[in-house]
Amino acid sequence: MTETSAGPHLQPVPAIDRDDDAPAVPVPVDNPALPDPKVRIEKRKPVLASWLTNRRDFAATARHSVANAGYATLYHGVRLPVYAGRLALMSPRGACRFVATTNRWVWDREAAPLRSYAVQIEDIDEYMRLARLRAGRVRLRGLVTLVAAVFGVGFALYLYVLAPGFLYAFAAGGVLLLGLGGQQPDAPVVGPAVLKTEVQKLTGSIVLRGLDSIGNAKVTAAIKKGGDMNGLRFVSEIVRDGPGYRADLDLPYGVTPEDIMEARKPLASGLRRKTGCVWPSPDPEQHEGRLVLWVGDKPMNETSKPAWPLAKSGTVDLFRPVVFGNDQRMRDVAVTLMFASVVVGSIPRMGKTFLMRLFLLIAALDPRSEVHAFDFKGTGDFGALEPVCHRYRAGEEDDDIEYVLEALRELKEELRRRAKVIKSLPRSRCPESKVTPELAGDKGLGLHPIVVGFDECQVAFEHEEHGKEIEAICTDLVKRGPALGIVAMFGTQRPDAKSLPTGISANAVLRFCLKVMGQPANDMVLGTSMYKSGYRATMFSRSDRGICWMAGEGDDPRIVASAFVDAVAAEHIVARARVAREEYGNVTGHAIGQGPEKTGSGSDILADVLNVIGSEEKAVWCERIATRLAAAQPDTYGGWQGENVTAALKPWGIKPGQVWGQTDEGEGANRRGIKRADITAAITRRNADRAAA
């Protein structure tokens, strides 16, 4: 760089713009006449401390103080007899100290060193002055002591004669006071009920120390440089923000908040805090180099969460954001379930099922919605939701999977119906070709929200017979469902490609990742490259239950501690939801004892297939059977492909084989097909079994 002493900075023309042989001609870079952007950002400091203006913070502070006071009263209350005994034991020492102190005071012993000093330096005048002073003091103090003793004894005699009870009370008080005076300074009788460990205040130098310790060369160089620090600077003073401190700073040029987020542990070590207290994040309203460092007083999992706002009252509009948890600063975090598909992943026992159940409870609190809850773990975690579920199943046996399959076939049909309804609506009613709150509220259209939750979804996807069909329908739900008012949610404790098929993991909108063990699981749930960008659910500890990274709501992923709602609380919420649904007229399906209707794979599939295979045909391609079935019974088999036929016949032991036939164009071809004889044999077997039963 070439620089003139007085003028603007001059830089050589970049090589790309000039002839390589020509000498570098400096051109001015900084134009003194370049106008200022005239944008000044002002930030007013709050008039009152935030805990005084925020009702929740005020209540929390008041609750904390009252709770501490109550605890101290109880703690000392039960110890009063012990205190009294120990003070009584110490009272002789207290009495000796009292006599010794009074004696020193009466004889003005505290001025003795001054008098000795005057003698040492042979200052006669000073000594005489001090001696006179002492004589006056001794007279006065002796008199006070004598009067106090006489009055004290007289008062004691008076009480002894007239009210001996009071005398004993005064005597006891006196003994306790003497006991207090007789305590050893390092072993007081009455200790504190609440031990307070001071959390260090966050200061600029501590923040710089923390940043220096993360091992980022640019940050370290900037801090070493001091002064301008290559752009590293605090942009406002460190303030209290909720239960912690907030520091806003610009990082050195080229360093991003993600670089700091990646190094939370060393940063926490440098700040001398637990990792759960340290939360660096970008500021979405500022440039890419702005870091907001929030340092909590306590780790997130030790901070008590506010109660879920919907736990006691309220209903939900699924089209609007609904609070489901809190961030590190215990501010509410909301989620909008409508128009989304949801994936929840974690290792076992981290709170995945609780989170899924929370979302289903949110859905249940919207009286218009239809709730489907499928729990393949089979422990009945969604059992509390039964009174509001349109479809519900817990278990992983074949009949459970078949129930879910039937329910999914219904949903597939529902998707098709909804698409047709939306297509038929005028643009003025349906401008974006998707369900709107107004359309969802129109009972005649049947476009109400449908929320379907699958816990441990890998069980269904891996089912030998029906896995493929379930996966195909679920993928369709994830892709087309959101626009048509259907929200599908998948929870798994094994987030890999088998448990979460790509069609689902790639198309999910909302992603919640509780603790996972490695990068693949992290990125499978949160999305590609999230781990590299610093959004790592591996950093959660085993005690961070219910805490997750949430991606898909807002620009950047954020950390949320989901509200804790156990099974008992869930039952109360469901009872409320049921009442709201009864009023709205939306208690259907499982809630009134009805299950899904049997479709293709039920008892008629064999007869239906036989009906579409002519008696002269030995075998027919699967795709042809599907087309004929769809034409004969569009309501039941509409949209079927060859593989649906294969899957539906598999439970009857019928496998497709290679069948020679002619295409519609008259060309010969070898394709997968079903033999007519296999169908008739299966029907015979079935009828025999039924007769035997």
Ligand X SMILES: Nc1ncnc2c1ncn2[C@@H]1O[C@H](COP(=O)(O)OP(=O)(O)OP(=O)(O)O)[C@@H](O)[C@H]1O
Residue 525: CB minimum distance to ligand X, A: 12
Between 252 and 351, name the residue whose CB sits nearer to ligand X. Answer: 351
Judged by phi (left if over 0) then psi (alpha if -120 to 50, else beta), residue 380 lies in: left
348 is in an annotated binding site: yes
350 is in an annotated binding site: yes
Figure out which of the listed residues 230, 275, 346, 601 binds ligand X, where binding follows CB under 6 A: 346
Residue 499: CB minimum distance to ligand X, A: 12
Query: How would you class 490 by CB atoms within 10 Å of its CB: exposed for 0-12, middle for 13-18, buried for 19 or more?
Result: buried
349-408 residues in contact with ligand X (CB under 6 A) are: 349-354, 377
Contact between 98 and ligand X per CB under 6 A: no
651 is in an annotated binding site: no
Phi, psi of 12 (to 5 degrees): -65, 150
Judged by phi (left if over 0) then psi (alpha if -120 to 50, else beta), residue 372 lies in: beta
Cβ-proximal residue to ligand X, closest one: 546
481 is in an annotated binding site: no
Residue 64: CB minimum distance to ligand X, A: 20
H-helix or E-strand containing 10?
strand 9-12
352 is in an annotated binding site: yes
Contact between 562 and ligand X per CB under 6 A: yes
Distance CA 361, CA 384 (A): 9
Contact between 412 and ligand X per CB under 6 A: no
Contact between 210 and ligand X per CB under 6 A: no
Between 51 and 564, name the residue whose CB sits nearer to ligand X. Answer: 564
Figure out which of the listed residues 546, 557, 589, 642 binds ligand X, where binding follows CB under 6 A: 546
H-helix or E-strand containing 485?
none
Between 83 and 564, name the residue whose CB sits nearer to ligand X. Answer: 564
Contact between 348 and ligand X per CB under 6 A: yes
Residue 391: CB minimum distance to ligand X, A: 21
Give DSSP secondary structure letters for 124-141.
HHHHHHHHHHHHHHHHHH
Closest CA to 246 of 276, 209, 207, 214: 207
Own/partner pairs, 76-80, CB within 8 angstroms, 24+ separation: 76/190, 76/193
Between 322 and 648, name the residue whose CB sits nearer to ligand X. Answer: 322
Residue 377: CB minimum distance to ligand X, A: 5
564-603 residues in contact with ligand X (CB under 6 A) are: 564
Residue 399: CB minimum distance to ligand X, A: 22
Task: Give the distance between the most distant pair of CA atoms in the chain.
Answer: 146
Between 356 and 422, name the residue whose CB sits nearer to ligand X. Answer: 356
Figure out which of the listed residues 536, 545, 581, 628 binds ligand X, where binding follows CB under 6 A: 545
Binding mask 491-530 for ligand X (x = CB under 6 A): --x-------------------------------------
- Choices 8-16, 20-28, 346-354, 661-669 (CB under 6 A): range interacting with ligand X: 346-354
Between 352 and 675, name the residue whose CB sits nearer to ligand X. Answer: 352
- Choices 19-27, 37-45, 262-270, 347-355 (CB under 6 A): range interacting with ligand X: 347-355
* CA count, 13 A, side-chain hemisphere, 87: 18
Residue 562: CB minimum distance to ligand X, A: 4
H-helix or E-strand containing 558?
strand 558-562
The strand ranges marked E within 318-401 are 322-326, 332-335, 342-345, 370-375, 389-394
281 is in an annotated binding site: no
Distance CA 291, CA 256 (A): 8
Between 246 and 511, name the residue whose CB sits nearer to ligand X. Answer: 511
| 661 bridge partner residues | 669
CA–CA distances in Å: residue 214 to residues 9, 207, 234, 279, 532? 35, 11, 18, 14, 17
Distance CA 573, CA 569 (A): 6
| Total residues in contact with ligand X, by rule CB under 6 A | 14
Convert 541-577 to b/e letters by CB count within 10 Å (16 or more is b): eeebbbbbbbbbbeeebbbbbbbbbeeebbeebbebb
Task: Return binding residues for ATP.
Answer: 346-353
Task: Return binding residues.
Answer: 346-353
| Interacting residues with ligand X (CB under 6 A) | 346, 348-354, 377, 493, 545-546, 562, 564
